Amino acid sequence: MTNRKASKPFMTFVYILCIVLAVLSILPFLIMLINATRSTTEIQQHAISLVPSGYLLENLRILAGKSFNPMRGFLNSMIISTGSTLCAVYFSTLTAYAIVVYSWKLRQPFFTFIMAIMMIPSQVVSIGFYQFMYRIHMTNNFLALILPSIAAPTMVFFMRQFMLSSLPLDIVSSARIDGAKEFYTFNHIVLPIMKPALATQAIFSFVSSWNSLFLPLILLTKQEKYTMPIMVSLLKGDIYKTEYGSIYIGLTLTVIPLFVVYFLLSKYIIAGVALGGVKG
Residue 137 binds other proteins, judged by CB under 8 A: no
The answer to whether 111 and 98 have CB atoms below 8 angstroms apart is: no
Segment contacting other proteins by CB under 8 A, of 59-67, 158-166, 192-200, 211-219: 211-219
What gap in Å lies between CA 54 and CA 36, rounded to an integer?
Answer: 9
Q: Which is nearer to other proteins, 57 or 256 (CB)?
A: 256
Residue 184 binds other proteins, judged by CB under 8 A: no
Residue 94 binds other proteins, judged by CB under 8 A: yes
Residue 191 binds other proteins, judged by CB under 8 A: no
Residue 235 binds other proteins, judged by CB under 8 A: yes
What gap in Å lies between CA 82 and CA 202, rounded to an integer?
Answer: 9
* In the complex, minimum distance from the CB of residue 68 to other proteins, in angstroms, rounded to a whole number: 12
What gap in Å lies between CA 120 and CA 116, rounded to an integer?
Answer: 8
Q: Which is nearer to other proteins, 53 or 129 (CB)?
A: 129
- Cα dihedral 144/146/149/150 (nearest 10): -90
Helix/strand/coil for 178: coil
CA proximity to 146, closest of 86, 204, 83:
83
Strand residues in 116-232 grouped as ranges (E): none
Binding mask 141-170 for other proteins (x = CB under 8 A): ------xx-xx-x--x--------------
Long-range contacts of 273-278, Cβ-Cβ distance < 8 Å, separation of 24 or more: 275/158, 275/200, 277/154, 277/157, 277/158, 278/154, 278/204
Interface of this chain with other proteins, residues 46 to 75, rule: CB under 8 A = 46-48
* In the complex, minimum distance from the CB of residue 61 to other proteins, in angstroms, rounded to a whole number: 19
Using CB under 8 A, which of 57, 75, 169, 213 touches other proteins? 213
Binding mask 95-134 for other proteins (x = CB under 8 A): x-xxx-xxxxxxx--x------x-xxxxxxxxxxxxxx--
The count of chain residues that interact with other proteins, using the rule CB under 8 A, is 96
